[in-house]
Amino acid sequence: MINRRSLLRNSLASGAGLSLLAGMNASTANAADAEPIPIGAALPMSGTAAADGIEFKNGLDLAIEEINAVGGILGRPLELHIEDTAEMGADVVSQAMQRLIDRYGTPVIVNGYNYGTNMVEMDVAADSDVIFIHYNTLISHNNKFKEDPDRYYGSFQGDPPEYYYGPGLLSYLNGLIDSGQWEPANRKIALVASSVEYSIVIANAVREFADQYGWEISLYETVQFPTNQWGPTLAKIRQDEPAVIAVTHFLPQDLAAFMTQFIPQPTNSLVYMQYGPSLPAFKEIGGESVKGVVYSTVVGCLPDDFSEGFRTAYREKFGPTAAYLTGSQTYDGLWKWALSAAIAGGAGEPYDGDQARAVSASMNRLIYRGVNGICRFDPEGQSAYTFPAQTPDASLGMPHQFLQHQDLTQDPVLVAPPAYAKGSFILPPWMS
């Protein structure tokens, strides 16, 4: 059982948030006696994305436990309600969110990601005057927000859009060359995307900026989602060896299969992958063949002292193999909302537009240092700023982290950006 004293002592990660919230709660009634605030989450708890859905719920559970331990929000404890979005899609996700609002009266819905929604969630939130926080990591959120900022005032993307992976990767590659850490055989990139919006937007962004950064796209291959037989794709890559193979597909088991099929006949290419290598399953399935793989994420728990308390608490509560990198997203999202709601004078309720706008304004003002780094919303698109592609100031943007699997007995090494790096890039074994 968690209590206020042990929480404040152990959780370095949310220490500032805990103290702030505890201070604001000091003059209010005991949380246990007050009416709970319903918190909604429409998550893929079954189906292909269930692994991530479970971690998103874990992140919310942990945040709620911590927030309630310091008195909830102005004396009201939080209570989580989940709706399963299974295979996702616009119809399923919008109905799940509407059920949360109608059944439980949730003033906020904190989702992880749901794909195939065309950002219809923003309409549900707008029509019901609730705050909606998500980690779909899509530029389409920004585009939709720009269409009508007054209508979509309550929708926030807690991380930067996927679009910034493109310039971020190219900038990182050039940094490796400029610093003498890597000497590529040519300036060709083979792009391998899968047929989902997230993957394609990233691949397109790399292609869009390649020329500007001095690179040439020698292959652009789109594979089915999911996919595990990489033979024909690898045969194409081997026909014209690129300096970089960038796989923007993101399922860890498929990416591990790519590496196990690549390693018996490797090319002299740096292998960059998307998101999947951050999950324990990638290393577990791929074994030695994943050693040397570089990947990046625009959102993920930083391997620093600040987030140590969170990582420890997460693994203690959910087991040693739990993926805190995923759970950290909803954890930070709920914490930022809780602080903003407390500052705004309360969480409000659905269809209370005035209070929802007050909370929204508070979220926009609050620069929150969470376990994923800084969350500060870009007023143009209401997504988190990314550092360094959008802002050169590390204290004003969420770091675009580049990591490499170096020692399989340890966690991957954060190799960029330099402000957060814990080690240096090493040449993968198949290239050295």
Partner 1 sequence: MDILIAIITTGLTNGALYALATIGLSLVWGSMGMLNMAHGALLALGGYAVFSVATTLGLPVWLAVLAAAGAGALAGVILYICVVRSLIRTAGKNFETSVMIATVGISISLQNALLQVYGGQPLKQPFGVSGAFRIGDSVVPWLNVVIILVSVVVMLGLALLISRTRMGRAIRATAQNREAALLMGVAVERTYLQVLALSGAVAGICGVLVSSVTQLSPTLGADPMLKAFIMCVVAGLGNLPGAVAAAFGLAMIEAGVQFGMGARWGFPVLLMLVIAILIWRPNGLFGRAQIRRM
Which residues of the shown chain bind partner 1 in the complex (CB under 8 A)?
46-54, 195, 221-224, 226-229, 231-236, 238-239, 251-254, 256-257, 261, 264-265, 279-281, 284-285, 321, 323
Decide whether 18 or 206 has the Cβ nearer to partner 1.
206
Residue 157 contacts by C-beta under 8 Å, 6 or more apart in sequence? 133, 134, 135, 136, 137, 138, 141, 142, 381, 382, 383, 384
Give me the least distance between CB of 60 and partner 1, in Å please: 16
Closest by Cα among 156, 165, 76, 61 to 345:
76
Instruction: Report the relative pairing of strands 155-157 and 294-297 from DSSP bridges.
Output: unpaired
Give me the least distance between CB of 337 and partner 1, in Å please: 25
Distance CA 366, CA 377 (A): 9
Decide whether 16 or 200 has the Cβ nearer to partner 1.
200
Give me the least distance between CB of 205 and partner 1, in Å please: 19
Give me the least distance between CB of 267 and partner 1, in Å please: 12
Decide whether 32 or 235 has the Cβ nearer to partner 1.
235
Give me the least distance between CB of 398 and partner 1, in Å please: 25
Q: Which amino acid is at 314?
A: Y
Terminal Cα distance for the chain, rounded:
51
Give me the least distance between CB of 219 and partner 1, in Å please: 10
For residue 26, give Cα distances in angstroms to 32, 55, 338, 339, 385: 14, 31, 15, 14, 32
Decide whether 6 or 239 has the Cβ nearer to partner 1.
239
Decide whether 220 or 306 has the Cβ nearer to partner 1.
220
Decide whether 289 or 382 has the Cβ nearer to partner 1.
289
Decide whether 264 or 392 has the Cβ nearer to partner 1.
264
Write out the two tokens for 296. 């990046």
Decide whether 87 or 216 has the Cβ nearer to partner 1.
87
Give me the least distance between CB of 292 and partner 1, in Å please: 18
H or E stretch covering 265? none
Q: What share of the chain is helix, strand, coil (3-state, %, to 5)?
A: 45, 15, 40
Closest by Cα among 381, 423, 376 to 402:
423
Give me the least distance between CB of 336 and partner 1, in Å please: 26
Distance CA 353, CA 358 (A): 9
Closest by Cα among 51, 102, 67, 66 to 81:
102
Distance CA 255, CA 192 (A): 11
Distance CA 143, CA 380 (A): 9
Decide whether 67 or 237 has the Cβ nearer to partner 1.
237
Give me the least distance between CB of 304 and partner 1, in Å please: 24
Decide whether 138 or 257 has the Cβ nearer to partner 1.
257
Please name the residue ranges forming H helices in 131-251.
139-147, 165-178, 197-210, 231-239
Residue 302 contacts by C-beta under 8 Å, 6 or more apart in sequence? 371, 372, 373, 399, 401, 414, 420
Give me the least distance between CB of 265 and partner 1, in Å please: 4
Residue 154 contacts by C-beta under 8 Å, 6 or more apart in sequence? 125, 126, 129, 130, 131, 132, 356, 357, 359, 360
